[in-house]
Structure 1
Amino acid sequence: MTTTEWAGAAAIVDGPGGYTGIEATPEWAEEVRRLARERNATLLAHNYQLPAIQDIADHVGDSLALSRIAAEAEEDTIVFCGVHFMAETAKILSPNKTVLIPDERAGCSLADSITADQLREWKAEYPDAVVVSYVNTTAEVKGLTDICCTSSNAVDVVASIDPDREVLFLPDQFLGAHVKRVTGRENMHIWAGECHVHAGINGEELAAQAKSHPDADLFVHPECGCATSALYLAGEGFVPDDKVKILSTGGMIDAARATGAKQVLVATEVGMLHQLRKAAPGIDFQAVNDRASCPYMKMITPAALLRCLRDGKDEVHVDPAVAERARLSVQRMIAIGNPGGGE
């Protein structure tokens, strides 16, 4: 079966929310697989993608883990089903491969919360500071960074820096607050950026859910606005300490397999529930906020993926000089010894 013979391929529609018109049928899956083989492509999907996209992918995980897989893959083409900064990171680590994203309009409110020019101005205010950037940033920002970090290793990265050096931590204010709390570092300046989805998962919701599910574990992503509230609930005895876990997406998968709880409340983007339920099918995973869905992640639709493989769209390019500087900041992070599991 070729794409032209498959009637469904003609139905792709480009709308304001992305490409639509295609359902994730067995015929769609067969055609995606055929086109991937034809392009010698490997399909990578982030944990926040639609379940159908996760299920068709060769690899599912967090952005940094997937970028490492991209660098090691034998295939010439990487199709990154995620948001744009993730595909950029894959290109940075795999400069000689073709990297495609099914819809280049799939951005990120967190990555957009600081520009390269803003970082240059901030660095000028603190010329001797060490710049630590979360991987959820653009290639240009990574190129101005001393050391990158992930949510799982941000504490270790900051702790590795000379305690007398000031630190500029960006862009996520909630992850920064978590790192500052754990390290006790006073000379740490935090950029006031946020992921609009994670910021919308608030402490009031978390407290209400914890109260109504007293035996549940709490898995909380440190980007969430409710991370501090989760620790407060534990500190005040409303929730047992051992039930509150501040985790990256990769850390949530590991914790899901290890927990003895029958129910887990999850504070992160709702796409994560699909992988958690696959990792530990005997556990009842529930979203703290079932409206916490990233519209950018959901732009990678079955129609967008089919278009990507059919037409070779959209290719991701990173200026070689920017990529070289950005690669150094990622490599410095990995050299610390705990590259972490990604965001």
Structure 2
Amino acid sequence: MEKRKERILDLKKQKNAVILAHYYQAPEIQEIADYVGDSLGLSQEAAKVDAAIILFAGVHFMAETAKILNPNKKVILPDLNAGCSLADSCPPLIFKKFIEAHPDHIVITYINCSAEIKALSHLVCTSSNAEKIVNSVPTNIPIIFAPDKNLGNYINQKTGRKMVLWDGSCVVHEAFSLDKLIALHRLHPDAKIIAHPESETHILETASYIGSTSGMIAYVKTSPFTKFIVATEAGILYKMQQEVPEKILIPAPSHENNTCACSECGFMKMNTLQKVYDCLLNESPEVTVSKGIREKALIPIERMLELSK
């Protein structure tokens, strides 16, 4: 593994490439990345990259976003099949009809969606800035929020808005078992539960803190407590533990009786160190976005980045 990492780092220099990785990637991929972050951080980083090639260690919609922001750079993804259940839950043709059924609504989409969906939107948001983006819209203007109904419901509660929600969700964040979580908390009554807002309401109601992946890491770093049950994709634990080596982190349990007894995204885990190497060596698979879609999708992304400064 160490030799492969060295080869990747050598190739990166040779090809003037940068590796951007999401917190949910395997630890060995996070280790060789130039930047590891959540969707907002990755979007901000992608917007200022000066390398010729961007290798995106994440899922397809993330690489698409990087390409929208960098039309003249080559954007590559280790596995083109690394999709997203949430993005898949919002097909563009059906969503277009949904918008048409709600005239005069501003369309805000969570970044976890396809380029075609972004192109139909007025604003894009991430879990880090969703509340801020929603609050940027005057209260007398109705809003459609898509594709994540759990995040949308959470933001409705936080802001007092009555946004019309698209019925989409992330299978990873809907996999947490409340019964198992309560049982786990009984074993660790001194642990604080922290959760991602893509989780269902009954999970969020148990949490001491609700926030994005970067928000959760910041909370654990500054909290006086020393033990946490973490309700998001288990890949976050690698970076989080590095930040707080003295604290105890426990993954929230999922309904499935899987090997890690936690919730993992199969799509995120499709990327491997070997695939990263092959991808960089061959400069493929390449992610492309048509000019018409790219230009339309760029507008709401740039609005989000401007509002997030």
Return the TM-score normalized by structure 1. 0.85
Quick one: which of 204, 226, 229 aligns to 1:230? Answer: 204
**Which has the larger displacement, 322-331 or 158-167?**
158-167
Determine if contact 2:235/2:264 at 8 Å carries over to the other structure.
yes
Quick one: which of 48, 58, 62 aligns to 2:34? Answer: 58
Give 1:150 shift.
0.9
Change (3 A) 1:153 1:68: closer
Give 1:332 shift.
1.7
Aligned 1:1-343 pairs, distance under 5 A: 25-186=1-162, 188-225=163-200, 227-231=201-205, 233=206, 244-289=208-253, 290-336=261-307, 338=308
Determine if contact 1:83/1:107 at 8 Å carries over to the other structure.
yes
Determine if contact 1:202/1:224 at 8 Å carries over to the other structure.
no
SS at match of 2:199: coil
Change (3 A) 1:162 1:71: closer
Determine if contact 1:206/1:230 at 8 Å carries over to the other structure.
no
Give 1:58 shift.
1.3
Q: In structure 1, list runs of 5 or more residues that go unmatched.
A: 1-24, 235-243
User: In 2, Cα distance between the equivalents of 1:62 and 1:147?
Assistant: 18
Q: Residue 286 of structure 1 aligns to which amino acid in structure 2? A: I
The number of residue pairs the alignment matches comes to: 302
Give 1:203 shift.
2.6
User: In 1, Cα distance between the equivalents of 2:77 and 2:288?
Assistant: 11
Q: Residue 230 of structure 1 aligns to which amino acid in structure 2? A: L
- Aligned-residue identity in percent: 40
Give 1:334 shift.
2.8
SS at match of 1:273: helix
Can you list the C-alpha shifts for 1:39-76, whole angstroms capped at 9, x where unaligned?
11011111000011011111111123123222312211
Give 1:193 shift.
0.5
SS at match of 1:224: coil
Q: Residue 262 of structure 1 aligns to which amino acid in structure 2? A: T
User: In 1, Cα distance between the equivalents of 2:132 and 2:47?
Assistant: 24
Give 1:300 shift.
0.5
Aligned twin of 2:258 = none
Give 1:224 shift.
1.1
Determine if contact 2:120/2:297 at 8 Å carries over to the other structure.
yes
Can you list the C-alpha shifts for 1:228-281, whole angstroms capped at 9, x where unaligned?
4432x47xxxxxxxxx00010111121121111111110000100001001111
Give 1:335 shift.
3.1
Give 1:208 shift.
2.4
User: In 2, Cα distance between the equivalents of 1:302 and 1:215?
Assistant: 37
Give 1:121 shift.
0.3
Q: Residue 254 of structure 1 aligns to which amino acid in structure 2? A: A
Q: What is the Cα-based RMSD across aligned positions, in Å?
A: 1.4
Change (3 A) 1:184 1:72: same
Q: Residue 223 of structure 1 aligns to which amino acid in structure 2? A: E
User: In 2, Cα distance between the equivalents of 1:140 and 1:74?
Assistant: 26
SS at match of 1:110: helix
Q: Residue 300 of structure 1 aligns to which amino acid in structure 2? A: N
SS at match of 2:141: coil
Q: Residue 211 of structure 1 aligns to which amino acid in structure 2? A: R
Determine if contact 1:143/1:326 at 8 Å carries over to the other structure.
yes
Larger Rg over CA atoms: 1
Q: State the 4+ residue runs in structure 1 displaced beyond 6 angstroms.
A: none
Aligned twin of 2:257 = none
Q: In structure 2, list runs of 5 or more residues that go unmatched.
A: 254-260
Q: Residue 32 of structure 1 aligns to which amino acid in structure 2? A: I
User: In 1, Cα distance between the equivalents of 2:98 and 2:204?
Assistant: 31
